[in-house]
């Protein structure tokens, strides 16, 4: 079990550029989540997948954001035409399909985005 892996760990980009983050979940985990965390705040839910199906998207996820999980394994989060307000840490997490209450969700170390 190698844990949830995210790349790149840090990204500095100019306003208006596109960026893409990748997440490799724990193998055999069906569910994959994306969260965003800004300085001094708790993480906020963005979206989640059950296998390759995107089952829920937060209203925080504007039209400039798109997430995919094409083969039900790794996932990408793309931000188009970045804005300074997009500067945050983007956290990926995974869990087995939830059969019981309180299924543990495992987080990666996050991808820091700075938009200048």
**Residue 104, burial from CB neighbour count under 10 angstroms (0-12, 13-18, 19+):** exposed
The site for other proteins, by CB under 8 A, has a size of 29
Q: Which of 1, 2, 14, 42 touches other proteins by CB under 8 A?
A: 42
Q: By CB under 8 A, name the one of 7, 28, 38, 44 that touches other proteins.
A: 44
**Residue 85 φ/ψ, nearest 5 degrees:** -70, -10
Query: With respect to other proteins, which residue has the nearer C-beta, 66 or 105?
Result: 105
Three-state SS annotation for 56-108: EECCCCCCCEEEECCCCCCEEEEECCCCHHHCEEEEEEEECCCCCCCCCCEEC
Q: Identify residues 74-113 at the interface with other proteins (CB under 8 A).
A: 91, 93, 95, 98, 100-110
Q: Which of 31, 70, 90, 114 lies at the binding interface for other proteins (CB under 8 A)?
A: 31
Binding interface with other proteins (CB under 8 A): 4, 31, 33, 35, 40-45, 48, 50, 55-56, 91, 93, 95, 98, 100-110
């Amino acid at each position: 079990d190698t844990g949830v892996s995210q790349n790149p760990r840090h990204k500095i980009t100019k306003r208006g550029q596109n960026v893409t983050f990748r997440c490799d979940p724990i193998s055999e985990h069906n569910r994959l989540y994306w969260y965003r965390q800004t300085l001094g705040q708790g993480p906020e839910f963005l979206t989640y997948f059950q296998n390759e199906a995107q089952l829920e998207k937060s209203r925080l996820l504007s039209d400039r954001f798109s997430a995919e999980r094409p083969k039900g394994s790794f996932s990408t989060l793309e931000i188009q035409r970045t804005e300074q307000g997009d500067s945050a840490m983007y956290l990926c997490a995974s869990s087995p399909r939830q059969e019981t209450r309180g299924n543990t969700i495992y987080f990666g170390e996050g991808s820091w985005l700075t938009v200048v």
